[in-house]
Amino acid sequence: MLGAMFFSQSSHAQAFKYTPKNPSFGGNTFNYAWLLSSAQAQDTFKDPNASSFDFGFNNSPLDDFNQNLNRQLLGRLSQEVFKNQFGDSGLKEGSFELGGFQVDVTPTAEGIAIKIVDIKNGGETQVVVPFF
């Protein structure tokens, strides 16, 4: 009789479904920011080889103003040097020396090639300005 009691009652069960939290393994992509902030909050290890860049987030308003003024002044000076060297007509073909740089301007099939060589350390770069 006892056995009949156990078999007569129906049992209900539900299927378990695993859903990962990490979006790298198929979880919801909205979990990414939460997982990253949790990991960064728990990270107490600082890499000794990592460079510490200061992007200006910790600067005072006076320091920001000073840096901005210096950038504007250097930009204005470079515009004046460029204007004095090349005039209002723009770049002319030839070889020029600007400060510590040797600038070679040559026309090519693609456009105007500008080769800039650092005289002190020998580093160089080339820029091609295409025709429009």
Helix/strand/coil for 24: helix
What tokens does 24 get?
């790298």
111 or 2, which is more confident? 111
pLDDT value at position 70?
79
Strands (E), 6-70: none
* Residue 85 or residue 48, greater confidence: 48
Q: Are 98 and 115 in contact (CB under 8 A)?
A: no
Quick check: 10 pLDDT over 70? Answer: no
Give me the pLDDT at residue 123, please: 87
- In the three-class reduction of DSSP (H, G, I as helix; E, B as strand; rest coil), residue 130 is classed as strand
pLDDT at 129 over 70: yes
3-state helix, strand, coil in the chain (%, to 5): 40, 20, 40
Q: Report pLDDT digits (tens) over 74-118.
A: 777 677 766 766 666 666 788 888 777 888 888 888 888 888 888
Q: What is the mean pLDDT of residues 17-30?
A: 83
Contact partners, residue 29, CB within 8 Å, separation at least 6: 23
Does 8 have pLDDT greater than 70? no
Q: What was the pLDDT predicted at 103? A: 82
What pLDDT does 22 receive?
Answer: 82
pTM: 0.39
